[in-house]
A and B are shown apart, each in its own frame.
Chain A
Amino acid sequence: MTTTASRSTIFRRPKTTTGFWSWITTVDHKKIGIMYGYTAFFFLLVGGLEALLLRIQLAGPEGQFLSQAEYNAMFTMHGTTMVFLVIMPMSAAFMNFLLPLMIGARDVAFPRLNALSYWVFLFGGIFLYSTFLFGTTGAPAGGFLADEVSRLGSAPNAGWFGYAPNTESQYSVGTVLDYWSIGLQIIGLASLLSSVNLITTIFNLRAKGMRLLRMPVFAWMSLVVNFLLAFSLPIIAVALWMITFDRQFGSQFFQAANGGDPILWQHLFWLFGHPEVYILVLPAMGIVSEVLPVFSRKPLFGYAAVVFAGAAIGFLGFGVWAHHMFSSGIGTVAQAAFGLSTMTIAIPTGIKIFNWLGTMWMGRLRFTTPMLFAIGFVAMFTIGGLSGVTHSVVPADWQQTDTYYVVAHFHYVLFGGAIFGIFAGLYYWFPKLTGRMYSEKLGKLHFWLMFIGFNLTFAPMHWLGLQGMVRRTWQYAADTNLGPWNMVVTIGAFVIATSILVFMWNWVVSRRRGVQAGIDPWDARTLEWTIPSPPPQYNFAEIPTVTSLDDFWHRKYTEDDEERPVRREGADALVAELEHTGRHPDRPIHLPAPSYFPIAVGLSLPLVGYGIVYHGEVWGLALLVVGLLATVTSFIGWAQEPSEPEPFGEEG
């Protein structure tokens, strides 16, 4: 009966569980997480390469390494890539891989939707990057170029923030900005879909006894982030449609000459863009909140405070957007109000930092690589937080805004913060992901190189900015005396690049030849460490029942009268038993079946995108129609796809 049903739709339901097609059709949250991770890392290399080109150009005054057009394209693509194609999907990788494991679920709530998120993200990213092949750009209407723009310069070039009216078609001629606005639209869709999916997962698929306030902090921060995504992405989606319509169909949303308002774009962009900052950094805060307790051998200090502070940051994050606009000419009262609201964000942020210090206080600290990155996160993020407070001092911000001081600030938050947190997580869960240990020696080398390179790169930007270096500047005059520190910055960037090579070497070698890790190499506290490494497709042979926060830890440890942990007698046996039963479920387990439709939809959307960019051509219109038909057809096939649960585990 099931066979006839599966023939009633466009594709037959795929069966493979290994090999190429298993990845193409997978709906397994772990495989999707892994694909997210590798794709995001690939884009990290691309975005990093772009940054190196920028730094070569700025190493000395009046640099000639890149043309202006190339420089503008590189800084735009660096920012756009790092935000939308690196940190967001890297967080998605962690959430996908870990959330179901942490809350005791078999998969996410909507497994096919999860696959769709990934494919939409991937093809959206490819669509955006195809600008280097097909995009065109030039001087603003009426201006002249001495030479044609190279392919390297044929990419979006109006900044990741894309301020109107520079993004309008008379100022940004050619198609590169269309690749940007439509590409981001597609990529944003991926995150929006996944936010709905993960919120539902957290609310509905927790194991028995896993009350909300027993969830690991990472799960909590994921919940906050996904709400932020669900509420903020529609705003940027609207703004991107408005600019797309302005460019493609002559709507006048941001055209001042026809009654449009360029400042409106800034409000919409930052109403999304500021929550976005927390979208980028909260997952890393979650990771750090997992890592610090394990390597301090203490529970997280002030669990509830850390959770509520994270939620508070999420709420406040929607009320501070205009602090990006203090010099835009917004009213005096508005400036004062947004200055004050911005200051309040420092309070929950401070609470988190103090609680992390409290976690380490009196602990027994093991300085493994993830621990080093987590401590590095706390230290570097503190600096970013402090410089953030100086932005809330509005008159000071009139001097700082649009300078390298701001570049320093947000790299301390997003690199010293988010990226350090991500590396802490990559090392911490490496044994779970691969079943093997990484090399501590190489890991520590990576950390120290990155830590030194990071500070060489971004610390000098503070005083470079205060002393006159504006952002997005292709050159600076020799007389500004900004040259020497810029050279230091460039050297730092190459030290960071070296550290990334060390990381890659460690990863590639350890995946194959690392020591077997076992299920619980860190003596950890949360559910993902109660199942085999790498986790079997069904995650838990038996869905666990949870009785407390850090349930696994309490099953291994009791406390003596001094409140010091004492390993229970049966703890080793318990771990051994978990390892065995985890691999041998005692009855068949029903898992969501793979599907071709997510990738089919994912492939169709860029066709629509190309269709919109080239709708002036007949073949462009044809692409638009084909893309729309393919999208709709795929969704119809999707809707008709019979669910065909496949028992797993008999062979065990």
Chain B
Amino acid sequence: MLLSSCIEGAPLDSLNPAGPVARQIDGLWWLVFWIAAAIFVLVQGAILVIAFVFRDRRGRQEPKQIHGNNKLEMLWTAIPALILAGIAVPTVKTIFELTDRPDNALTVEVIGHQWWFEYVYPEYGITTANIMVIPAGMPVELKLTSEDVLHNFWVPQLAGKRYLVTGQETYLNLEADQPGEYWGQCAEFCGLSHALMRARVVAVDEAGFEQWVAGQQQPAVEPAEGSPAAEGQATFLNAGCTRCHIIRGVWEEVTRQPPAPDLTHLAGRDYFAGASFDLDAAHLRRWLANPPAMKSGSFMPNLSLNDDEITALIAYLETLE
């Protein structure tokens, strides 16, 4: 029943691993699953057989008064113990293998915020949000921490979960075999908009990754003078956005804590606001009009922007490739 009921094409499917870490966990899971399935069939089968064979029916004698059997007790203590010992060995082995710090790994710092993930690439001086870009076929070591409450970083096709703990650093290894987009989700309840704290990991080939890094290291593109985008930049600078958002080359210091996502290359990302919404004009319009209505508890207030300001801002944000 379990096998036939598996959901096809679920992007958060932990049973459809796409990297060595997740695959090793998956292998261990199926081993345990089949052992558990065998015991399931045995016990449920026994219940059904007993219920059918020994049901009270006409002419059935009073049963023998058996009080127990010590040999059986020992047997059904020892056999499960042996099975568990059999499971314990690969379990412990896998724990140590998967928590080993990999060599030559790319380090990405993951910082949890209510309700979005921030990614910092210390080797490259890059800060981005919501979408983590990694090279395919290369081990990645995540160093995780949280700015506020606990979060839990989970990209099921690539690795298991790891908490982001306030004031502490935790680690998680992850790797993607092939270029592609992998879904993630904050798995630990983290307050009002926990459900809308999602993530994407985009794996690209090596050349693509280098190109991405080079692009991210550039400051933001300056809009052409007199263009709608330039008008949008003026709105950005005047409407209050600069209290929380950085756009490198335009505005680099914020006054308000907690910080908000770095927007320098916003338009290069396909999703925003905790990777919960497609980054397109329609969603941006709704968002800029009233952020807390789309994401309850949002730290971005309703800035009371008028339609023209919103249109200009969208024009500007869309240039931030």
Contacts and interface: CB of A to CB of B under 8 A. Distances in A.
Chains A and B are bound partners: yes
Contacts of A158: 189, 191
Interface stretch (A198-206, A474-482, A490-498, A591-599): A474-482
A562 to B, nearest CB: 7
A351 B6 CA distance: 32
Contacts of A563: 64-66
A573 interface: no
Contacts of B193: 68
Interface residues of A, number: 112
Interface string B56-73: 100011111111110011
A233 B192 CA distance: 29
Interface stretch (B233-241, B261-269, B298-306): B298-306
Contacts, number: 336
A360 B53 CA distance: 10
Contacts of A366: 56
A144 B291 contact: yes
B15 interface: yes
Contact of A139 (B22, B68, B161, B296): B296
B167 interface: yes
A375 B191 contact: no
A171 B87 contact: no
Interface string B263-294: 00000000000001000000000000011110
A304 B67 CA distance: 10
Given A298-B65, A402-B161, A257 B167 contact: yes
Interface in B225-258: 257-258
B224 interface: no
A343 B54 contact: no
Contact of B28 (A395, A401, A562): A395
A353 B73 CA distance: 11
B73 A302 contact: yes
A395 B168 contact: no
Contacts of B187: 401-403, 470-471
Nearest to A469: B12
Interface string A147-168: 1000000000111000101100
Nearest to A170: B148
The 9 A-B pairs with the shortest beta carbon distances in the complex, nearest first, are A468-B12, A398-B160, A256-B167, A329-B170, A146-B293, A302-B68, A402-B187, A256-B166, A139-B297
Interface of B: 1-2, 5-15, 22, 24-25, 28-29, 32-33, 36, 39-40, 43-44, 46-47, 50-51, 54-56, 60-69, 72-73, 76-77, 80-81, 84, 87-88, 91-92, 94-96, 98-99, 114, 144, 148-150, 152, 154, 156, 159-163, 165-168, 170-171, 183, 185-196, 198, 257-258, 276, 290-293, 296-302
Given A68-B296, A305-B68, A367-B51, 15 more contacts: A142-B257, A145-B297, A163-B188, A262-B166, A328-B163, A329-B165, A354-B76, A390-B32, A393-B91, A396-B29, A466-B15, A467-B12, A467-B13, A475-B196, A480-B11
7 contacts: A72-B191, A296-B63, A303-B67, A350-B76, A466-B13, A470-B185, A565-B62
Interface of A: 67-69, 71-72, 139-140, 142-147, 157-159, 163, 165-166, 171-172, 256-257, 261-263, 296-299, 301-305, 327-329, 332, 335-336, 339-340, 343-344, 346-347, 350-351, 353-355, 357-358, 360-367, 375, 378-379, 382-383, 386-387, 389-390, 392-403, 459-460, 462-464, 466-477, 479-482, 484-485, 559, 562-566
